[in-house]
Structure 1
């Protein structure tokens, strides 16, 4: 698409919301000058930002990419109360239908400035948090099942005993986030920052963790059932004493990882490529001392030359 046309699309959608360039910039955590350059056709936003714009304006990606200007069967939401700090207070899109005399509930918190917000104990399934500032937000004991977190700052957020079943976390900053006794079933983590995040006493059931550096992520007293780690860096990670059932490590870097005293049932380790000498050497750096394994897991690792002399079979 011509950059001038793209700029006009952004400007038209912004003006339809009675939103200033500064307000839009606040939602995207960028400078107003950057928005001005887009609208003048002097530069273009990256793909992730275009996704955020689509969510903020409640339009399909085709609004920015083809010759039509039709939204997905709905009008652009109006901002009834912009607080000047990146919050979309009063957004009228994606509301759950009211029952009785109850007012409709806000389901889309995209682009909101909610740092430090108390969400303790809320019942809020299927919410959207796209491009939101949620630093140090407290979601303890909340029901967030089926919610989507994408491109948001969740550093320092608390998810103690939170229901995150079916939630999707994509391209988020989860540095120093805490997952203490969190309900993690069918949850997905993709391309997110999990440095110094802590998973304690959590059961990860059918969880997918993809394209994430987990070297500085802490797992303590967790159980993994049906979990898939794919294209992750887990070098040097300590997973001692934890339980792994029907788990797959798919193209995962595990150099120097420790599984001492862990329990394994039907666990597979898939190479990033063909079985090279380098892959054999990587597996041989993993510590399995005191672990317990089913016979098939034991045999697969032993066949790859892993030292299992201190491992017991189940």
Structure 2
């Protein structure tokens, strides 16, 4: 694994599209100093960040193929021996659980009950997971555009560096589900309760949320600028380090919700908080006090 070679490739692709180190850093939620270290070969981004970089720098996976191969070495060895998992119900047959790297576009998985499935680097575009129980399954670096997860059980699932554009999560079971560095433009999450879900480094600006309850959810480093969260319920939710400019919480319910940055509170952060709309929102006194201290406009807020 040649860190200097990878750093040179990052720098070359970045300059080709006329992007600054600071601009690239903002896209992948790291500091400009971290990008500088990558380009000097002093450190390397992890595999998930490399997948992000291919989209941002407009290069394909082969651009970093040598590095991805090295980083995936452990995973590939693990995949040499197919895993077998019992499907719920003694009358059901044994199923292979490793579907990584497979061409599975528009495949019918509706109603399947199988845990610990692996869909890493797979094409699942338009596949149907309606009502499937996929507990503990993983989707890493896969194409899952326009897939249907309506009513699917995604408890303890890991979805990382995966394209979920236009995916449907209506009435999905989302408990401790991890969403990391995803593409969720046009994806719809509706009529569901998100419990202890973590949405990290994910662009949510074009994601559609309708009739949802967020309990113990962490929006760590995610981009929610201009997002409508009107009428939703938030309990014990963290918006730490999230981009919230022009986000709206009209008629939403907020209890024990934290908007604090874990870093220094800058003037830029205070200005962003002031752009959030809480018109008609209902919140507890502690959430109110926290937002008041950050200068939020709370003129039309109600108390629980």
Q: What TM-score do the two structures reach when normalised by structure 2?
A: 0.75
Q: For residue 179 of structure 2, what is the aligned residue in structure 1?
A: 189
Question: Which shifted more, 265-274 or 109-118?
Answer: 265-274
Which residue among 254, 271, 288 is the counterpart of 1:264? 254
8 A contact 1:293–1:311 mirrored in 2: yes
Q: 2:100 matched to 1:110?
A: yes
8 A contact 1:189–1:210 mirrored in 2: yes
1:1-314 to structure 2, matched below 5 A, reads: 45-51=65-71, 54-58=74-78, 76-77=80-81, 93-96=82-85, 103-271=93-261, 273-314=263-304
The size of the alignment, in residue pairs, is 244
Deviation at 1:299, TM superposition (A): 0.6
Higher helix share: 2
Q: CA offsets, 1:246-275, max 9 Å, x none? A: 000010010000000000000001226312
Deviation at 1:243, TM superposition (A): 0.2
Which ranges of structure 1 fall in alignment gaps of 5 or more residues? 3-37, 60-75, 78-92
8 A contact 2:85–2:115 mirrored in 1: no
Give the distance between the partners of 1:232 and 1:141, measured in 2 at CA. 28
Q: SS of 1:267's equivalent? A: coil
Which has more radius of gyration? 1
Summarize the Cα distance change of 1:101–1:181 in structure 2 as closer, same or farther, 3 Å threshold: closer
Summarize the Cα distance change of 1:102–1:220 in structure 2 as closer, same or farther, 3 Å threshold: closer
Give the distance between the partners of 1:263 and 1:190, measured in 2 at CA. 26
Q: SS of 1:169's equivalent? A: strand
Deviation at 1:202, TM superposition (A): 1.5
The Cα RMSD (Å) is 2.3
Q: CA offsets, 1:100-141, max 9 Å, x none? A: 897531111111110000001011111111111100000000
Give the distance between the partners of 1:186 and 1:46, measured in 2 at CA. 33
Q: SS of 1:283's equivalent? A: helix
Give the distance between the partners of 2:145 and 2:259, measured in 1 at CA. 31
Give the distance between the partners of 1:103 and 1:289, measured in 2 at CA. 54
8 A contact 2:193–2:214 mirrored in 1: yes
Give the distance between the partners of 1:155 and 1:48, measured in 2 at CA. 23
Summarize the Cα distance change of 1:96–1:305 in structure 2 as closer, same or farther, 3 Å threshold: closer
Deviation at 1:304, TM superposition (A): 1.4
Q: CA offsets, 1:133-159, max 9 Å, x none? A: 100000000000110111111011100
Q: For residue 86 of structure 1, what is the aligned residue in structure 2?
A: none
Deviation at 1:58, TM superposition (A): 3.2
Give the distance between the partners of 2:182 and 2:266, measured in 1 at CA. 29
Give the distance between the partners of 1:274 and 1:281, measured in 2 at CA. 14
Q: What TM-score do the two structures reach when normalised by structure 1?
A: 0.73
Summarize the Cα distance change of 1:103–1:264 in structure 2 as closer, same or farther, 3 Å threshold: closer
Q: CA offsets, 1:67-96, max 9 Å, x none? A: xxxxxxxxx44xxxxxxxxxxxxxxx1123
Summarize the Cα distance change of 1:97–1:157 in structure 2 as closer, same or farther, 3 Å threshold: closer
Give the distance between the partners of 1:96 and 1:239, measured in 2 at CA. 39
Summarize the Cα distance change of 1:261–1:273 in structure 2 as closer, same or farther, 3 Å threshold: same
